[in-house]
Amino acid sequence: MSVRRWSVTLLAAFVTLLTVAPLLWMVSVSFMAPGEAAQFPPPLLPETPSLENYRTLFGTFGIGRFLANSLLVSTLATGLALLFTIPAGYAFAKLRFKGRDATFRLLVAALVVPGQIGMLPLFLELKAMGLVNSYAGALIPWLAGIFGIFLVRQYCLSIPDEMLEAARIDGASEGQILRRVVLPILTPIIVTLALFVFLGSWNDFMWPLIVLADQDLYTLPVALAAMSREHVQDNELMMAGAVVTTLPVLILFLALQRFYLSGLLTGSVKG
Amino acid sequence: MAGLSIEGARKSFGETEVLKGVSIEVADGEFTVIVGPSGCGKSTLLRSVAGLEELTGGRILIGERDVTDLAPSARGIAMVFQSYALYPHLTVYENMAFGLRIAKADKSEIARQVQRAAEILNIESLLGRKPAALSGGQRQRVAIGRAIVRQPEIFLFDEPLSNLDADLRVRMRYEFAALHRTLGTTTLYVTHDQVEAMTLADRIIVLRDGQIEQVGTPRELYERPANIFVAQFLGTPRMNIVPVTVSGAGQATFSDGRIVALPPHAEALSTGTRLSVGIRPEDIAIGAASDALPHRIGFIERLGGLATIHLHGAAGDEPLACQLRDDGSLREGDVVPVLLPADRLHLFDAEGRALHGEARE
């Protein structure tokens, strides 16, 4: 191997270590006894690894419930987002209707408005509809993300019209064309979009905090934040909470990484 | 099977009128080719027959049925696209079976139809493959197979060969002709390639600017073009056109005063009439004769067996293209005697319309 390749490999290894180290230490600390991580210098590994923190988390704090809440909200958010975003993106790309391009331009223009600006009006709107403090309220912002519509539309633009016309001649209805021709072609972008939405809603803190008042409805990040207010000193316990929060999405991401990458690359690589 | 009638088809996109009242009759079982330059409306016409474009005016009848307002799938047509338009996620078998599956046909019936089409096209061994694993020619066959499986009354082809390389184009042309003989299905075929039109068609329709210029058999169009456009569109190199003035009974004068004999049907033209004479490159002869006109050879394109010779002469500014068997004896810069046989000349009036005499053989 040349010096150049060695140095590139070393640099990559260093950056990887830099990125992974905090995650690994988070896992390590979660197995430490109370107060152990606060020593100086902080230990890399627990002296006597124990599951005590996890027991407290799942026993005393009932984090299992919040984990289930988060799973439910994120799964629903993903399902609903796909349900609305894919047909919308497809329609903007391939169906002819009046005002199509004008509407799309308006949507894209709205992308530049930060989400936080919409939070208050959205909250008031949901309040008027009686949806505050319910999962319906927590899910509404995920229903149809402009970014998702944009992503699907751009990908759909690369599908040749002739293929859809061939399906029309073959007798397929517009719904059948979407289901049997377009969706299979869209698989990489659907996986990518699903990951985006799932990760986004899983990690979302602000909106659930605003809209969910009842503690039983809390999602993991909100519950964890509430917990950290009471247990500022319990680093080890908090780290166990962080592991419970991070691990599911990390596994999901790694499992779908292959599709995700091909989805992100499609725009540039596909002919 | 059925014939096809298009009656006064009009189509506008916004302000632009693409089809300006096109009427066509295609007899049952006939192979008709629509040919014309890009933007002449030929694809729009085909897509209108398929139901992919809505006509602004006029009617389309397949057999006795008025299909003008029917959905594409209800018209009894099948279409083969230029890009093949195969479904990339489905196997060849599934691609061909797609339409029948949508129509909820019986499984064994689907298998029978797909098998039959695959046998006709010799693609049985490809049925399990995905389109990405096929060559261009194979994809083209699958696209045709998908059309055959539909058992249409009318086949529509939209420039199906233009994505293939030259060698494959020749082979597929032959196969199209063979396929049409086997199936005998009424076919409407669009191309901008006049060679495809000449070799495949029972009848050719030449379209320009959304209007029909001429309809006829390939031979009729080649031998008796209705106007300069058709004359120059069919045949490569294209027909030479030279302006002349009638200078006496049966003769005309080039711009520089040299004289050419006209065919017999020009006898009636009065002196002073301005005309264009057309002559196909293969009808020009080089050889000594009393009425030969000397021309200088400007450029020779040697094609192997044949050569196209560009002759600069007295006859206007445009060089004449002449096609000969190439024996290697001619050199660029030579001055040679050129014969324009009167019986091979085409005459066109000032508007470019043909002045026909008796049909020539």
* Whole-number pLDDT of residue A36: 87
- Give me the pLDDT at residue A5, please: 92
Of B168, B143, B153, B166, the residue nearest B81 (C-alpha): B143
Q: Which residue has the higher pLDDT, A124 or B254?
A: A124
At B316, the pLDDT band (50, 70, 90 cuts) reads low
Gap from A185 CA to chain B (nearest CA, Å): 7
SS3 readout for chain B: CCCEEEEEEEEEECCEEEEEEEEEEECCCCEEEEECCCCCCHHHHHHHHHCCCCCCEEEEEECCEECCCCCHHHCCEEEECCCCCCCCCCCHHHHHHHHHHHCCCCHHHHHHHHHHHHHHHCCHHHCCCCHHHCCHHHHHHHHHHHHHHCCCCEEEEECCCCCCCHHHHHHHHHHHHHHHHHHCCEEEEEECCHHHHHHHCCEEEEEECCEEEEEECHHHHHHCCCEHHHHHHCCCCCCEEEEEEEEECCEEECCCCCEEECCHHHCCCCCCCEEEEEECHHHCEECCCCCCEEEEEEEEEECCCEEEEEEECCCCCCCEEEEEECCCCCCCCCEEEEECCHHHCEEECCCCEEECCCCCC
Q: Which two tokens stand for residue A199?
A: 């990760």
**What integer is the mean pLDDT of B129-143?**
91
The predicted structure's pLDDT at residue A183: 93
pLDDT at B136 over 90: no
Cα–Cα distance, B336 to B287 (Å, whole number): 7
Q: What is the pLDDT of residues A51-97, one digit of tens each?
A: 999 999 899 888 999 999 999 999 999 999 999 999 999 999 999 89
What mean pLDDT do residues A21-28 have? 93
> Exposed (0-12), middle (13-18) or buried (19+): which is A134, by Cβ within 10 Å?
middle
B33 residue type, one letter:
V
| Residues belonging to chain B with any Cβ–Cβ distance to chain A shorter than 8 Å | 50-52, 71-73, 77-79, 81-83, 85-89, 98-99, 102-103, 146, 150
Mean pLDDT across chain A: 88
pLDDT at B249: 83
Kindly provide the residue ranges of all beta strands, DSSP E only, lying in A189-245, ordered along the sequence: none
User: Span B295-310, mean pLDDT?
Assistant: 90
Per-residue confidence band for B314, with pLDDT thresholds at 50, 70 and 90: low
pLDDT in tens, B7-59: 999 999 999 999 999 999 999 999 999 999 999 999 999 999 999 999 999 99
Largest CA distance in chain B: 77
**Residue B246 has what pLDDT?**
92
Q: What is the pairing mode between strands B335-339 and B293-302?
A: antiparallel
Range B319-348 average pLDDT: 89
How close is the nearest chain B Cα to the Cα of A184, in Å? 7
Which of B52, B98, B102 is opposite residue A165, by nearest beta carbon? B52
Question: Is B52 in contact with A168 (Cβ distance < 8 A)?
Answer: yes
Confidence at residue A269, expressed as pLDDT on a 0 to 100 scale: 36
Q: Give the range among A36-40, A164-168, B211-215 with minimum mean pLDDT.
A: A36-40
Query: Contact, B62 vs B77, CB < 8 A?
Result: yes
Chain B residue numbers touching A185 (CB-CB < 8 A): 88-89
Decide if B276 contacts B243 (C-beta within 8 A): yes
Mutation target vs B (from A169, A181, A183; most B CBs, 10 A cutoff): A169
- Looking at residue B30, its amino acid is E
The CB density around residue A120, as the number of other CB atoms within 10 Å, is: 10
Q: Is the pLDDT of residue B360 over 70?
A: no
Flag whether pLDDT at A29 surpasses 60: yes
Name the residue of chain A whose CA is nearest to B77's CA. Answer: A169
Read off the pLDDT of residues A236-259 as tens digits, 9 standing for 90 and up.
Answer: 888 999 999 998 888 888 888 777
Q: Which residue has the higher pLDDT, B130 or A266?
A: B130
- Cβ contact A123:A201 at 8 Å: no
Q: Does A262 score more than 80 pLDDT?
A: no
| Chain A residues lying within 8 Å of B86, measured CB to CB | 163, 166
**For a pLDDT cut of 70, what percent of chain A falls above it?**
95
Using a CB-CB distance cutoff of 8 angstroms, which residues of chain B are in contact with residue A172? 73, 98, 102
* Sign of the torsion formed by the C-alpha atoms of A245, A246, A247 and A251: positive
Q: Which of B83, B94, B78, B89 lies closest to B136, judged by CA?
A: B83
- Distance from the B73 Cα atom to the nearest Cα atom in chain A, whole angstroms: 5
Using 50, 70 and 90 to split pLDDT, how confident is the model at B212? very high
For A173, the 3-state DSSP assignment is: coil
Question: What digits encode the pLDDT tens for the residues A180-194?
Answer: 999 998 988 898 899
- Read off the amino acid at residue B254: F
- All residues at 6 or more sequence positions from B21 whose CB lies less than 8 Å from its CB, including other chains: B8, B9, B10, B57, B58, B211
| Residue type at position A259 | F
Residues from chain B that touch A184, judged by Cβ atoms under 8 A, are: 89
The overall average pLDDT reported for chain B is 90
